[in-house]
Amino acid sequence: MSAAPSRVRPALLGALVAVAVGIPLSTSPASAASAQAMNGNWAPFSRCPVDDPAMLAADGSTDIAICVASHSDSGSIKLGNTAATTGANDLQFGVVRNASTGVARVVAPQGGSIIGAPTEIPGGLLGIMCPNGVPVISGICNQLADVNLNRVVATVESAGTPSNFDLSAGMQSGKVIVDIPVRIHLENTFLGSKCYIGTSSSPVVLRPQNLTAPALASQRFDASGTPNTRGLLNRVALTGNNQGDSGFAVPAVSGCGPLTLGELNWAVNLKTGLPSAAGNNNLVLNNASTYTAGLTAPGSSAPSAGQALSDSWHAGVVQ
């Protein structure tokens, strides 16, 4: 952890104040724009990367392509000394599984696998940076009576492609289902536009597991999404349980400050207790619903099973 600087340039406070009203808050990730409204049993798979070359190349005999989606409407997260409730989180990706070895390769959709709803940090900037005896920080703290200046919004973003997906772990409790690299965007006027917990090169790696065993259901359906006991496709639903992870580490923040040079990194790290070692952090996703979908008999569509899955998914898009 970096120590507070012993001297602060007088001009820096002026620079902080000068940009204090110019940085807007983001309200939704850009990747959400790529989602499609889907019919029937396709509904959870709005971002399945069926047209990725790796998915299309799955022949249905050696390699089998499936869509995976997991959604939670709410939850809680603790990072270092800071705890917050979370909004909706939507995780989607494709999987190409080798039929002989069982090895699964994860294929991320364009824009990243995870979309998280923006969440407000309790206490805002007062809670994660104030009080502080350093003049440049106390100068900011004195202005935070304005609720908009104090507001800090955190959004979980993808920081790489998920890995180590284990389909069987999703059907039981106590086993890691998938490794998900993420970074958390902290947005506030004074923190600037590039303040993150975690980076693409040093992400927070979440490894969720079911805290209780989920309910299991399976249903066949047609390409349109309509249920059909003789349908070309099959969907497995794992529902009614919470998921969580308490074993992840959290790195220090980076890029925090209106000049986006990290001039406020040390202040945020000091108050929030970052970096934070594994065991000091926790994530719970309430009432998680996880689904997989693929061809019922992919071998019957060989060697073009990947294309057949893609054609079926597109047939399920709401027109």
Q: List, for residues 54-92, the tens digit of each pLDDT value.
A: 999 999 999 999 999 999 999 999 999 999 998 899 999
- Dihedral sign of CA atoms 110, 116, 118, 121 in order: negative
Do 229 and 220 form a contact (C-beta atoms < 8 A)? yes
Task: Summarize pLDDT for 108-117 with one digit per residue, the tens.
Answer: 999 999 999 9
What is the per-residue burial (b if ≥16 Cβ within 10 Å, else e) of 40-62?
A: bbbebbbbbbbebebbbebbbee
281: left (phi > 0), else alpha (psi -120 to 50), else beta? beta
pLDDT band at 123 (very low <50, low <70, confident <90, very high): confident
Q: Which two tokens stand for residue 257?
A: 């400050």
pLDDT score at 138: 82
pLDDT tens for 243-273 read 999 999 999 999 999 887 899 999 999 989 9
Nearest to 106 by CA among 146, 179, 181, 162: 162
Residues of the chain with pLDDT > 70, as a percent, come to 90
User: Can you tell me the distance from the alpha carbon of 119 to that of 155, in angstroms, rounded to the nearest whole number?
Assistant: 6
Nearest to 197 by CA among 275, 267, 266: 275
Give me the half-sphere count of Cα atoms (radius 13 Å) on the Cβ side of residue 169: 15
Q: What is the pTM of this model?
A: 0.85
Residue 189 DSSP symbol: T
Q: What's residue 1's pLDDT? A: 38
Question: Is the model's pLDDT at 275 over the cut of 50?
Answer: yes
Does 10 have pLDDT greater than 50? no
Which of the pair, 4 or 244, is modelled with greater confidence?
244
Q: What is the pLDDT of residue 194?
A: 95
Q: What is the largest CA-CA distance in the chain?
A: 74
- Averaged over 118-130, what is the pLDDT? 87
Residue 96 pLDDT: 98
